[in-house]
Amino acid sequence: MINIIGTYECKADAKGRVMFPSALKKQLQKVLGAGFVIKRSVFNQCLEIHPMQEWNEVVGQVNKLNRFVKKNNDFIRSYMAGLKVVNVDGSGRVLIPKDLLAFAGLEKQIVLSSSVNMIEIWDKDKYEVSVAKSLKHFGDLAEQVMGSQPLDGSDGIS
């Protein structure tokens, strides 16, 4: 499993190409050659770019769904819709397909934000609004999500 760290401001050119910052390329060096899957986010108006190895693990989970259950088929169709395989070119750029640029409302100023094993691609203004909104109640969210989890890997019984 890859662990990506950092938030990077960059620019998209007129064709939708985004240069990966050198610090990000360095973290991704072992997986750059295998390519990436880029897709719409489920919960936000941004894109997700998954290293191929990480994407294969996600698809492994999706593939376990029973396809004789209609809601599973509906989920799979929607989740997989519009995703594309992209590669980093010789100059360190990724070309974001036009339909995905439009979905995320990406203009010139963008943010690449790590999300553990994948990268979110945001319009800079939308990213700042989203972060500001989530930080308002982050303490409560952290307690809800992580508060019941033992930090030492034990079962929490002392």
Q: Write down the pLDDT at residue 122.
A: 98
pLDDT at 137: 87
* pLDDT values of the chain reduced to their tens digit, one per residue, 158 residues: 889 999 999 999 999 999 999 999 999 999 999 999 999 999 999 999 999 999 999 999 999 999 999 999 999 999 999 999 999 998 889 999 999 999 999 989 999 999 999 999 999 999 999 999 988 888 988 899 898 876 666 655 54
Task: Tell me which fold the domain 7-124 belongs to.
Answer: Chemotaxis protein chec (3.40.1550)
Q: What's the token pair of residue 61? A: 């989970």
Whole-number pLDDT of residue 1 = 80
Contact 47, 96 (CB under 8 A): yes
Instruction: Give pLDDT, residue 155.
Output: 57
Q: Cβ contacts of residue 120 below 8 Å, gap of 6+? A: 41, 44, 46, 47, 48, 49, 111, 112, 113, 114
Closest CA to 49 of 39, 58, 59: 39
Residue type, 40: R
